Amino acid sequence: MSRSIISTDKAPAAIGPYSQAVQAGNTVYFSGQIPLDPATGNLIEGDIAAQTRRVFDNLTAVAEAAGGSLAKIVRVGIYVTDLANFATVNQVMAEYFQAPFPARSTIEVSGLPKAAQVEVDAVMVLD
């Protein structure tokens, strides 16, 4: 099966040896997005809500570059440095997704790149 690399300057460039997303067949696998400003590559300032919005904005840009949208995402993985932020992350996610919602896991981790508070990866299926 062939793979296509998905890349856009509307989302932050990869900060390591990985692609923003990879398409295999009609499935797109997103690398984790942290709340980086695509223009500067710097972590945005703000609380967990602001950081989560930036992450979903970045994921939206990658989804669009792949020819899809958040509505086509079937699975989301969320990584937070403090599960006390779970409710806030849920509220922000509800701003970006509508029912039927994707499958999801939320995991607390001890740290994320650049001291981010949240990271999200995803899987999208294109028609």
Tens-digit pLDDT profile for residues 89-103: 999 999 999 999 999
Question: What's the average model confidence in pLDDT over 114-124?
Answer: 97
pLDDT band at 15 (very low <50, low <70, confident <90, very high): confident
pLDDT tens digits, 31-89: 999 999 999 999 999 999 999 999 999 999 999 999 999 999 999 999 999 999 999 99
Q: Which of 4, 26, 17, 48 is nearest to 126 (CA)?
A: 26
Contact 35, 118 (CB under 8 A): yes
pLDDT at site 120: 98
pLDDT band at 2 (very low <50, low <70, confident <90, very high): confident
CB neighbours (10 Å) of residue 61?
A: 18
pTM for the whole structure: 0.96
pLDDT at site 9: 96
pLDDT at site 42: 96
Above pLDDT 90, what percent of the chain? 95
Residue 115 DSSP code: G
Output the average pLDDT for the chain.
97
